Structures are given as C-alpha cells and as structure tokens.
Amino acid sequence: MENINWAELPFGYFKADYNVRAYFKNGRWSELEASTDENITMHIAATCLHYGQQAFEGLKAYRGKDGKIRMFRLEENAKRMTHSANGIKMQPVPENLFMDACIKAVKMNEKFVPPYGTGASLYLRPLLIGTGGQVGVKPADEYTFLVFVSPVGPYFKTGFKPVKIQLVRDFDRAAPLGTGTYKVGGNYAASLQASVRSQEEGFASVLFLDAKEKKYIDEAGPANFFVIKDGEYVTPKSHSILRSITNMSLRELAADMGLNVVERSIAVEELANFDEAGACGTAAVITPIGEIFDREKKISYKFGQEGVAGKVSTELYNRLLGIQLGELEDKFGWTTIVE
C-alpha cells in the first residue's frame, strides 16, 4: 500500500481494496460477497436509473486511543436505511445483513482505517439500488446492496471552525410530504443548484427554508441545523428533514449536560436571538456557524466571537468525538468495536 498522508486527506473517494455486496432476487437476499471491482453492471431499465429507487447511508469507523476500531451507531444507520427503503418502495436490507456487511467491509479494509490522532477516519457508504428492469413506473423486483469505504479527512477544510452559510428562498430541498425524511439521492440532487451557487458566492454551505411557507429553518444543505441560547439546544422540527443520527446523539448529549432540548419550528427572524448555531451530520460531526447571510433580504445573522466556536458547541463536539475515539466512556452504548 502506498504511503498515505493521513493528516492531509480530503473528504473524498479514495480506493480501498474491497467492497461488500449482496443481491435480492427471486424473493430472497443472497449471502455477502467481497469484490475488488469498483464498477456495477446492471440492466439498462434498472429502476435506480429511471425512477430514483436509490437510498444510501454514511457512517464512520475510528481508530481509537487504545488502538481499537469503533463504528458509531451502526444500528441506527441500519434502521434509517430500512426507513428510506420503505419510503420509496424498495426491498429493505435486513438489519443484521446491513451490520454484517459494514463490519466485514471495515475488517477487509482495516489497513485503510487512519491512525489515531490524525483527524481522519474511515467513511462507509452503504448503498441500496433497484437493479431490476422496469419500463412502467413501479418498484423493481431485484435489488443490489453494497458497502464501500474510503479514508477521509474533515468535510470542511476549515475543520472545527465557524463558517459562513447562505440562506436561500428560491430553491427547495424537499416538499413537506415528499422524500425529505429519507436518505435518497433525489434530495441531494434537488439541493445542488443552491449549494453550488452558494459556494461560488463564497459560502461554505446553504440553509434551506420550509418549502410550504418559506418562514422556518429546514436543513443546512447536507446536514441538520441547531441553535443554542440560555441553556437550550433547539433544532427544527419538520416533516421534510432527514433523521440525522448525529443530531439525535447531540440531543442526548445536550440533555446529559443539563441543557433543555427543544424540537420546534424556528422562524428566520429568531436567528437574531441565539448565541450559537451549527450544522451537524456524519461527515462534519459539528460545523460551527459564525454567520448566516439571507441572500434575498441581505441580512446577516452573526453568532459569537468571530472565528471562535461557541462554548456549548465545542463541549458537544468534544464529547461526541471523545466517545467515537474511545477517549471518553461510551455510557450510551453507541459504539461497535470491530474485533
């Protein structure tokens, strides 16, 4: 294996040795198999290509302070993929098969798990696609499930430092009763125009409002959103927001720290009242937000001291990462040690 500069890894694709696959055909799932091929062969009428029957997950494995490899909240990723599969009428992957595939993928690519202290981790991408051919609009009768891995660095080059993001009204990520709560590719495709434009205009990411009324905060691009003030951790409640496993974990940690955890609608105008803001998700864990710029109204909402992450966000980040790296006791039972 070539020498890898672990500390300089981007958040991107890096070829590992193996991926793991299983197939649903004739009413049953196959056994897991390992592959060295980075390509998939499928029918030209596969439903993933024509009707968006595709769901994916993202999770990480970490090399701990004790040298052990820990996967974070694996069971929750399995549950969420089932939720997504049911949402767009795909054959769900049995949760035991999902977890076995992830563990197998980590074991077979153990040399790509970055060393402790480098700031890098092994990212896992479980993928479920409809591979059975259909011309009419209906679910496939065959599916492919696979897991590939890639060592990655921080999602944002700035690491754990405040970023500026742009609030937009002229694009929607998902409809109120649409697919927003499922981790499917269509939601990300719908976000690309706004996300790319925001980056071209100098912002790290984009913040979407609810599609119905354009009054309330929804998602922060590829991540959930939260704000903090006066001992409260507040995060949007919406039918079109993805169920973030990181946000779920932060809510539990916030409660454990004595904060009052609130899930409710957050009006845009309320942003002026909060001390801290952040985006959270598997890729970045927490990205502190220093400024939110309302593109239409030309208003900026600023949080805390410029260039410095807020005190509560920092404590939440350190506690969550400490559990992932084996530095702190996992009293919640969130990690799976890969033996």
CA geometry: angle 259, 265, 269, nearest 5 deg = 95
Residues 137 and 88: their CA atoms lie apart, in Å, by: 12
Q: Which of 183, 298, 302, 311 is catalytic?
A: 183
Does residue 331 carry a catalytic annotation? no
Q: Which amino acid is at 90?
A: M
| C-alpha R_g of the chain | 20
Q: What is the DSSP letter of 46?
A: B
Instruction: Tell me which residue of 103, 93, 81, 69 sits closest to 245, measured CA to CA.
Output: 81
CA distance 8 to 10: 6
Cβ contact 275:247 at 8 Å: no
List 313's β-bridge partners, or say none: none
Q: How far apart are the first and last CA of the chain?
A: 22
Under 8 Å between Cβ of 212 and 180: no
Q: How many CB atoms lie within 10 A of CB 296?
A: 10
Q: Which structure tokens are listed for 296?
A: 């239409």
Residues forming the active site: 183
